[in-house]
């Protein structure tokens, strides 16, 4: 979603207020002259509900609100800096302070020079070269399906350090022995593991996602056979892959290459009309399934 007029009249943003209310969340951008612009965020409010009825909050609800607020602070920061770059040619960094944690936050805005990655050719992308049946090649590393879980997690940690992002954290994802991810620019590189016939936990899926819009620094760029899968229009990607001799099965918002274990994902929800794929996953192809046990066929429900 584009934030219209982040710097109306050439006035730079000075502070931001993020507020959660019973029926929804919103944020307000205040410029140096005190002018305010309010934007509504399309997420559920802070009131706990069971169906249409409110009741006592469960013990975990405030933790959930804190997680929601953290995600929304990131959304607001990205929207504001994109709009400020568009209007003024500079970035806007926000330093957040809790006003009424976890539902009310105020941020002070600091302007800085435009990120060099805003300009094509200034910063090298972080290329993930997918190699079906084997895994992926990364800058200075590789992720093969023979990789043990501990080595896969170490590789993710090294990527986070290289990109200056938070270290990977374990999360529960149904169907996998383990799952961790790291931010790369505004994209995310995620790894999932499964157990082989000997009970050894190894890499079983590589997934790269990147939202529409500016890709951040560095740009996460998954690539297969010299095709930049998330950079070209989705229709062109499908045509190119078919011209290279690959069978493609379209189902819902996915495009599957079943012989390779490769799946491309279109955005869902309000972004469904976007012209590019926003995610790609790679698993061992069906021929390699005995190494890992049953391999679930990816579909829309598996999309990142």
pLDDT in tens, 149-201: 999 999 999 999 999 999 998 888 888 999 999 999 999 999 999 998 899 99
- Going by their DSSP bridges, the two strands 220-224 and 126-131 should be labelled as parallel
pLDDT of residue 5: 52
Tell me how far apart the alpha carbons of residues 294 and 20 are, in angstroms, rounded to a whole number: 43
pLDDT of residue 197: 87
pLDDT of residue 286: 59
Q: What is the DSSP string of 34-79?
A: --EEEEEESS--SS-EETTEE-PPPTTHHHHHHHHHHHHHHHHHHH
| pTM of the full structure | 0.84
3-state SS assignment for residue 120:
coil
């Amino acid at each position: 979603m584009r934030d219209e007029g982040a710097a109306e009249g050439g006035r730079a943003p000075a502070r931001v207020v993020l507020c959660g209310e019973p029926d929804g969340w919103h944020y307000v951008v205040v410029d140096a002259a005190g002018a305010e612009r309010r934007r509504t965020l399309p997420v559920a409010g802070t009131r706990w509900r069971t169906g249409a009825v409110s009741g006592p909050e469960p013990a975990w609800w405030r933790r959930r609100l804190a997680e929601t607020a953290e995600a929304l602070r990131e959304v607001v920061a990205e929207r504001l800096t994109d709009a400020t770059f568009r209007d003024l040619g500079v970035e806007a960094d926000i330093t957040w302070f809790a006003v009424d944690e976890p539902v009310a936050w105020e941020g002070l805005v600091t302007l800085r020079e435009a990120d060099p990655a805003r300009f094509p050719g200034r910063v090298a992308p972080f290329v993930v070269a997918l190699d079906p049946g084997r895994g992926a090649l990364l800058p200075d590393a590789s992720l093969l399906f023979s990789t043990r879980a501990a080595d896969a997690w170490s590789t993710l940690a090294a990527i986070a350090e290289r990109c200056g992002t938070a270290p990977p954290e374990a999360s529960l994802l149904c169907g996998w022995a383990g799952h961790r991810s790291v931010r790369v620019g505004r994209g995310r590189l995620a790894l999932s593991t499964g157990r082989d016939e000997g009970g050894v936990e190894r890499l079983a899926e590589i997934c790269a996602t990147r939202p529409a819009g500016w890709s951040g620094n560095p740009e996460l760029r998954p690539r297969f056979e010299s095709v930049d899968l998330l950079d070209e229009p989705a229709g062109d990607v499908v045509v190119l892959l078919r011209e290279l001799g690959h069978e493609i099965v379209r189902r819902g918002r996915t495009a599957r290459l079943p012989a390779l274990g490769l799946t491309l994902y279109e955005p869902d929800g309000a972004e469904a009309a976007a012209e590019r794929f926003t995610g790609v996953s790679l698993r061992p192809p069906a021929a390699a399934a005995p190494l890992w046990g049953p391999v679930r066929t990816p579909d829309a429900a598996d999309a990142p």
